[in-house]
Amino acid sequence: GNSVTQMEGPVTLSEEAFLTINCTYTATGYPSLFWYVQYPGEGLQLLLKATKADDKGSNKGFEATYRKETTSFHLEKGSVQVSDSAVYFCALEAGGYQKVTFGTGTKLQVIP
Amino acid sequence: SAVISQKPSRDICQRGTSLTIQCQVDSQVTMMFWYRQQPGQSLTLIATANQGSEATYESGFVIDKFPISRPNLTFSTLTVSNMSPEDSSIYLCSHSGGRGTEAFFGQGTRLTVV
């Protein structure tokens, strides 16, 4: 079956530090890959996505590249801000069934 | 993208009782999904709800415990039956724009069973 393995948190960084959150996946066929973010007290929302190999998704300074050879979709940001403090979920959708499989989530805390 | 309104946003319930969670979408969608997010954990799919047919449950979830209704293309309910403290979680409904597109979520229902 499909699965997503995500770096465990919590991750604590100082403002302007570089962020990497690792994500690898197992899936049948060619999945679409997503990063979702859950800010404190808010609902889950899409951060970025990639639908085929070598695609790069980007949004709000965050980037992730779909690496088929390593089955990875690592999230990066060059300079984090306090407002980036949230829980980040790596996810995939495969097989055309529209069901989403989530990783365990990584809590990021950015301190001034 | 369709907007999802979910209610209640939170509730505290006595063990042995049932709670029905409602999700209203502002446009017609074919498939809706119900997830559970236990404290500090990821989202786990409970079931897929299609209009006009019975919901399809994932392993570990059964209709007697989590009955779902899908009376039309804009509405669905999830009932958490005969609750115990272990059912304390956030429950979310969702729909997808289609294959390879993002999923959209309701704000979630934070359930506490005492």
| Res B99 pLDDT > 80 | no
B99/A100 CB distance under 8 A: no
Ramachandran category for residue A47: left, alpha or beta (phi over 0 → left; psi -120 to 50 → alpha): alpha
What pLDDT digit, counting tens, does each position of A26-42 carry?
Answer: 998 889 999 999 998 88
| Res B106 pLDDT > 70 | yes
User: How many Cβ pairs closer than 8 A exist between chain A and B?
Assistant: 52
Closest CA to A16 of A108, A111, A107: A111
**Mean pLDDT across chain B, nearest whole number?**
92
- Token pair 């060619």 is found at A30
Q: Is A96 exposed, middle or buried (0-12, 13-18, 19+ CB in 10 A)?
A: exposed
pLDDT (mean) for B89-96? 93
B102/A43 CB distance under 8 A: no
Positions in chain A whose pLDDT score sits under 50: none
| Res B104 pLDDT > 80 | yes
Q: Yes or no: say if B34 and B47 are a contact pair by the CB < 8 Å rule.
A: yes
The pLDDT of residue A97 = 67
* B34 at A interface, C-beta within 8 A: no
What pLDDT digit, counting tens, does each position of B45-92 carry?
Answer: 999 998 888 899 999 999 999 999 999 999 999 999 999 999 999 999
* B45 at A interface, C-beta within 8 A: yes
The pLDDT of residue A7 = 86
The pLDDT of residue B103 = 86
| Res B1 pLDDT > 70 | no
* B42 at A interface, C-beta within 8 A: yes
What pLDDT digit, counting tens, does each position of B4-24 carry?
Answer: 999 999 999 999 999 999 999
* B107 at A interface, C-beta within 8 A: yes
| Residue B62 to chain A, least CA–CA distance (Å) | 18
* B50 at A interface, C-beta within 8 A: no
The pLDDT of residue B11 = 97
Which residue does chain A place closest to B95, by CA atoms?
A: A98
A44/B98 CB distance under 8 A: no
Q: Provide the 3-class DSSP secondary structure of residue A40.
A: coil
Residue A7 amino acid letter: M
The pLDDT of residue A28 = 82
